Structure 1
Amino acid sequence: MSWLVWSVWTAAFALYETWALINRRDDDTLSENVRRLFRIRGSRLGRAAFTFGWSGFSGWFLLHILNESM
């Protein structure tokens, strides 16, 4: 059953993101909102926080997928 929930969530995200890319309005894509959340354009601390968070998550997720016991 959980595969269905994840499939629906993924499909909904893909449809919304595609619509956001097609309509070309500002501040409606995931990447635009992440940039705003971390203040990427104006804050060195925000850039560092995003870099640290993304690197940490990516490393954990890679090991999590490759190593089922994590």
Structure 2
Amino acid sequence: MTTADQLWGTLFLIGVAYEIYTLGNVESGDTLSERVRNWFPVHIRPGRVAFVATWITFAVWFLGHIVT
């Protein structure tokens, strides 16, 4: 296993651990989905459009980046 694998794996595990922690606590607004809703105010149309455009752009880029 390379150092890069270890680093990315560690970052991923920290993210998963923090998400599990935030799901179990009583504080509001600290899960990943709650943060994304804050960054892209999806309760208004421009926020929804910005989020969907960003998500689709990333998904298309990442898919192409991985398979080609």
TM normalised by structure 2 equals 0.91
Residue of structure 2 equivalent to 1:7: 9
Structure 1 moving runs of 4+ over 2 Å: none
Residue 51 of structure 1 aligns to a residue in which SS? helix
User: Which residues of 2 match residues 28-47 of structure 1 at below 5 A?
Assistant: 28-41=30-43, 43-47=44-48
Aligned-residue CA RMSD (Å): 0.9
Q: Percent of pairs identical after alignment?
A: 38
Where do 5+ consecutive residues of structure 1 fail to align? none
Where do 5+ consecutive residues of structure 2 fail to align? none
Residue 12 of structure 1 aligns to a residue in which SS? helix
Residue of structure 1 equivalent to 2:66: 65
Residue of structure 2 equivalent to 1:54: 55
TM normalised by structure 1 equals 0.88
